[in-house]
Copies of this chain bind each other. A is one copy, B any other.
Amino acid sequence: MASIKDIAKIAGVSISTVSYALNGSNKVTEETRQRIKKIADDLKYVPNMAARTLKRQRTNIIGVYVTDYRGSFYGELLDGIKRGLGYYDYDMIVCSGSRSHLFIPEKMIDGAIILDSTFSTEEITQFADEDYNLVVLDRELDYSSVPQVLLDNKGGATLAINQLVELGSRKVFLITGPNGSYDNRQRLEASVKELERFNMSYDVINGNFTEASGHQAAEFIFSKSPQVPVDIFAFNDEMAIGIYRYLKDKPYVIGRDVRIVGFDNIEIGEFLEPKLTTISYSKHRWGIIAAEKMIRLVSNEQAEDELIYTSLVERE
């Protein structure tokens, strides 16, 4: 509410003196600084963001865009980003929905970290052409100015297939995500490649990363009374959970008659019975690295693409 004008009036100095005093310039005596700071505190002065931004042409805020707020997937990632940005005195806000895409050209934020399928790649490249600072976590882009921090989906899928191979699998059901998803395409490509290397047969069943689609896929598989053991690589854990749910009142025993590998290592997996074997990676680290890339961008430094490696979590 109070502005530097008010402070200046009370202190009997000009507004520029107030500004200098408050911003720690050495152009003002220690004594006046103290006096002015005291008045500012008494008035509970806080600089107006809009005015400061208008002048400075930056906000020190980074926007993180997510597809939606649901799911236990984002929490750790956001924590990581926030931590990474905090080291460098940047604030973070989390946004979702296409209206908030406007924050970018409006210059409300100094940069955007994107894990949000409501951004079209075209939209992103347009922003990139206009020199906004962007980091993408959910797609490949042929834009050297937009660093990508991507999951090593191929490595993860290869690990998953190998695990099934080691268990003696002869045939694998692949339950995929939606076609539009970059992660899905990568996982599929690597899985097929690895399966063919071992000369194994496989069936591709289209899912869409939701628990419901996993349930459906299981229905499809088991309604044909397949030969046990049935081996399944679900391209994410949520779909694997759908399979668990389908099998709950069926005679098939998970771990013996059905072997499932998931992807993402979401929290629930550990509470399933039996615990879900899955492909894991550090979401926290993913966030920290994304933040680092963004910091480099706003500092006008070059930022390289980076891969987040995966590992197999073998459970029951």
Contact = CB atoms under 8 A, between A and B. Distances in A.
A103 to B, nearest CB: 7
A74 B96 CA distance: 14
Contacts of A91: 99-100, 103
A-side interface mostly: mixed
Interface stretch (A64-72, A133-141, A256-264): A64-72
Contacts of A103: 49, 91
24 contacts: A1-B131, A44-B105, A46-B105, A48-B107, A49-B50, A49-B107, A50-B50, A50-B53, A50-B108, A51-B54, A54-B54, A68-B79, A69-B76, A69-B78, A69-B82, A70-B76, A71-B72, A71-B75, A72-B75, A91-B103, A93-B94, A93-B100, A267-B268, A271-B271
Contact of A271 (B51, B76, B245): B245
Total copies of the chain: 2
A50 B61 CA distance: 13
A178 interface: no
A10 interface: no
B79 A74 contact: no
A60 to B, nearest CB: 10
Looking at A46, A50, A92, which has the most chain B CB atoms within 10 Å of its CB?
A50
Interface in A73-121: 74-76, 78-79, 82, 86, 91-97, 99-100, 102-103, 105-108
B130 A1 contact: yes
Given A68-B79, A69-B74, A70-B79, A46 B106 contact: yes
Given A69-B79, A70-B75, A71-B72, A54 B48 contact: yes
A66 to B, nearest CB: 9
Contacts of A273: 273
B79 A94 contact: no
A147 B46 CA distance: 25
Contacts of A95: 92-94
A75 B238 CA distance: 16
Nearest to A99: B91
A241 interface: yes
A28 interface: no
Query: Top 6 nearest A-B pairs by Cβ distance?
Result: A70-B75, A50-B53, A49-B106, A46-B105, A94-B94, A69-B78
Given A94-B69, A271-B268, A50 B46 contact: no
A5 to B, nearest CB: 14
A75 B96 CA distance: 12
A262 to B, nearest CB: 13
Contacts of A54: 48, 50-51, 54
A244 interface: yes
A207 to B, nearest CB: 18
B106 A47 contact: yes
A200 interface: no
Contacts of A53: 49-50
Contacts of A244: 271
